[in-house]
Every structure is written in C-alpha cells, then in structure tokens.
Amino acid sequence: ETGVTQTPRHLVMGMTNKKSLKCEQHLGHNAMYWYKQSAKKPLELMFVYNFKEQTENNSVPSRFSPECPNSSHLFLHLHTLQPEDSALYLCASSPQDRPNSPLHFGNGTRLTVT
Amino acid sequence: GESVGLHLPTLSVQEGDNSIINCAYSNSASDYFIWYKQESGKGPQFIIDIRSNMDKRQGQRVTVLLNKTVKHLSLQIAATQPGDSAVYFCALMNYGGSQGNLIFGKGTKLSVKP
C-alpha cells in the first residue's frame, strides 16, 4: 500500500467522452502532482498543487483539467481526448513541493483512448 | 536544456550478484538526485536520494554514488534478488528547485535470473 490511491486502475474512453481520474493521499502531505507516463519516454510532469493552489501547469492541453478541492484529493478531468493521450497517469504527493521531500506515487490509471 | 540519460535500457543479472545501474546528466547545477523503482503494474517507489554535497550514500542493500566531475550517478544493489526485478529511474533537480522541477530519465529495466 503506497498511501496514494488512484481510481480507476484502468479506463477506456472514446474521444467524445468525459471522464475523471481520482487520486487520494492518506499521508498528510501538502503537495500533489499529476504525471503522464508513456512507453519509452521519461515521466512527464503535468500539474503541481501546493497547499491546494496550482503552482505549475506544464503546458498541458486544455482537454486535461485538474481539480484539487483539498490537500488530500486530486482529480484530473478528461474531455475530447486524442488516441495519443493513451498512457499511464500517475498521481503523486510529497510533504511539500521542495527538495528532500521525495514523491510518493500511486499505482496509476491506465488510460486507453479509442 | 537539461537532459538525463541512462547508459543501458536493460540489465540482466544473476540472482546473488551485484547490480549497477548508471545515469548521466548534463547540467552542472543539478543539486539533488533520486532513484526510483517501478515494478510492473505499480507506480514508482522512492529508493534513495543524495545531495550534491555528498558523493556516496548507503541504504539497505543499495548504494548511490555521485561523481559530479563527470556528471554521473549510479545505483548499486548488493546481492540482487528476484524481487529487485523492476524498472529503475534516476531523477534530478537543480539547486533551489522543487519536486515539480524533477527531471526523470527513461529507466533501466533490471531482470534477475534465478
């Protein structure tokens, strides 16, 4: 158990669908992150929330919309995705958004866009 | 720009042998270095980290070595076990950066032969 729980584990959606990914952390951390992991590519940072405030949006297309209602929960709302958006989406948390606060990752949501 | 490269995308070792996974980086301002392990179907898991004011740090069966002169980072696993089979990522951060500024390598897949 990582302390960071992501649901669903797998998601298949059409390009016209709207869906949401959910992340919950039970570690008392104040920073939460969304990462995209594609085959044969390094982890790509998408969004950072520090104390519920978005501090980084790494040039992510607007079809991905994050929401952080509190320090324990993070959502990624998806709409009109493209097949190239198929990937493993990882949520992570850390005590704060600074060095010496290693990331704790969830097990990810495997997203397939058809 | 910043880049992080791994010397080998795959590594196969015999159970009981020592494993060495290497990482090279390009930016002299890199200040904080981390190794993550990702098992199949799971998210990355923190293994060990090191700051640039150190050249060696040891954990349980793992040692991280940092050579700032040649911008090289390595992870050594002693007495490799089947449970060590996974993809290993190095990640780095520049001085004054945050977790949102982590740069990941592509990963080395370690296979342990019984």
pLDDT at B72 over 70: yes
| Interchain pair A107, B42: CB under 8 A | yes
Contact B91, B103 (CB under 8 A): yes
Q: Which of B42, B46, B99 sits opposite A33 (nearest CB)?
A: B99
Alpha carbon distance A107, A23 (integer Å):
10
Which residue pairs, CB below 8 angstroms and at least 24 apart, start in A63-68?
Answer: A64/A34, A66/A34, A68/A32
Q: Which of A40, A45, A102 sits opposite B46 (nearest CB)?
A: A102
Contact B56, B63 (CB under 8 A): yes
> Can you give the pLDDT at residue B3?
61
Interface residue A89 vs chain B (CB under 8 A)? no
- B-facing residues of A in 6-45 (CB < 8 A) are 31, 33, 40-43, 45
Residue predicted with more confidence, B103 or A78: A78
Alpha carbon distance B48, A71 (integer Å):
25
| Interchain pair A108, B103: CB under 8 A | no
Helix (H, G, I), strand (E, B) or coil at A21: strand
Residue B76: exposure state from Cβ atoms within 10 A (0-12, 13-18, ≥19): middle
Report the percent of chain A where pLDDT is more than 70. 95
* Span B45-70, pLDDT tens digits: 999 999 999 999 999 999 999 999 99
Q: Which of B44, B97, B107 sits opposite A99 (nearest CB)?
A: B97
* Span A62-99, pLDDT tens digits: 999 999 999 999 999 999 999 999 999 999 999 877 76
| Interchain pair B99, A101: CB under 8 A | yes
- A-facing residues of B in 6-35 (CB < 8 A) are 31-32, 34
Alpha carbon distance A5, A24 (integer Å):
5
Size of the A and B interface in Cβ pairs below 8 Å: 68
Distances from the Cα of B113 to the Cα of B6, B19, B22, B47, B60, angstroms = 22, 12, 20, 22, 21
